[in-house]
Amino acid sequence: MICGIKGGLLFLNSSYANETVHKTENYRLSTKIISESLEYPWGLAFLPNGLALVTERPGRLNLISLDGSIKRVQGLPKIWVGGQGGLLDIAVDPNFSQNKTIYFTFSKPFQKGTHAGTALARATIENLTEPSLSNLDIIFSQNKPTISGYHFGSRIVISPENKIFITIGERGERNRAQDRFDHAGSVVRIHKDGSIPKDNPFANGVKGLPEIWSIGHRNPQGAAWNIKTSSIWTVSHGPKGGDEINQPKSGKNYGWPITSYGRHYSGGKVGRGHSAPGMELPLYHWDPSIAPSGATFYNGEAFPKWKDNLFIAALKSKLIVRMEIKDGKVTKEERLFKNSFGRIRDIQQGPKDYLYIITDESKGRLIVIKPHH
């Protein structure tokens, strides 16, 4: 039963607490708050049994059931928390039912805590009643850590071939993104044990670090695997304008800070402008910026009209962007939930093939998006 209308949204009665209905081009959607007691949640992933793993940037990992109950997961490593750094993304091993393995990125402290760099850890979590990490192993650490609190990245994508991609920002020191011997501003590709795939572009270490897959990225805070193109897609923050979507390919250079569709915050031109020899153009860009974060390609049955669409969470614009893709190119954009939930940090497909989002706030929320019938 509907009890009120505000700002174009339908608010339902108390039997549907915290539930609202939203209109989109293809569907009427129902959204419901699962939890609203998270402190700056950053990453979201689901276990096979439907429980959600949610990171909080200040350095906490939570196991959340869809009724909203939360258990704190113990056993995290030491985490450098400051600026944009902290506990970041989370991913569940495709074979979790057998190996109980998860992966997470975080800003790892170096030099007695004065410096930090993006790192990837692997651990097992077996007892979900009293959850705690065991067999913790840091399988990747960014080289050249700095005192900067900016641009850690960082998303984790596990390919169907069981390679792990990690996105890393250029730490606010833009020229580092052009150095193939510096992890800053790169996409890294490793095996699940941290070893280097032999088909990486610089696997022999002569022309670049063996684990680097691509360079020239500013701050890629979104990444997802596109089944149609069999490739990773990344979504990166531009400077003033110039947020962009890329399909990072082996050994390629994505331009920053030599090329960008944005401008410096001072208003000055970035490098050589939009393009330069040897630099890849983005698949898509936004100007003005939307401040993109987490991303996912939808491949479920709950929203059949959205099959293979790319969904991107936006911080500054406080919305979700739905993008239709054809032949590897973006053909249409629809903006959803503008100003409905605040800054949206991540979006993922989860139980029942519904979509789930987390909001970037001191009282951050986990919200489910499902068809409204």
Catalytic residues: 151
What is the spatial distance between Cα 362 and Cα 355, in angstroms, rounded to a whole number? 22
Query: Which residues touch 7 (CB under 8 Å, ≥6 apart)?
Result: none
Q: Residue 142's closest CA among 180, 172, 109, 183?
A: 183
Helix (H, G, I), strand (E, B) or coil at 178: helix
What is the spatial distance between Cα 307 and Cα 305, in angstroms, rounded to a whole number? 6
Q: Write out the DSSP string of 72-102.
A: EEB-------BTTBSEEEEEE-TTHHHH-EE
Q: Residue 346's closest CA among 41, 31, 60, 38?
A: 41
Neighbours of 372 (CB within 10 A): 16
Establish how many alpha carbons lie within 13 A of residue 17's alpha carbon, considering only the half-sphere containing its beta carbon.
5
The CA-atom distances, in angstroms, between 93 and each of 1, 47, 87 are 41, 9, 18
Residue 158, classified by CB atoms within 10 Å of its CB into exposed (0-12), middle (13-18) or buried (19+), is middle
Sign of CA dihedral 362, 101, 74, 131: positive
Token pair of 247, please?
């399909």
Q: What are phi and psi of 70, to 5 degrees?
A: -125, 135
Q: Are 30 and 17 in contact, with CB atoms under 8 Å apart?
A: no
Helix (H, G, I), strand (E, B) or coil at 56: strand
Question: From its phi and psi, is residue 185 left (phi > 0), alpha (psi between -120 and 50) or beta?
Answer: left
Q: Residue 190's closest CA among 161, 215, 170, 226?
A: 161
What is the spatial distance between Cα 160 and Cα 225, in angstroms, rounded to a whole number? 9
Token pair of 279, please?
């630099």
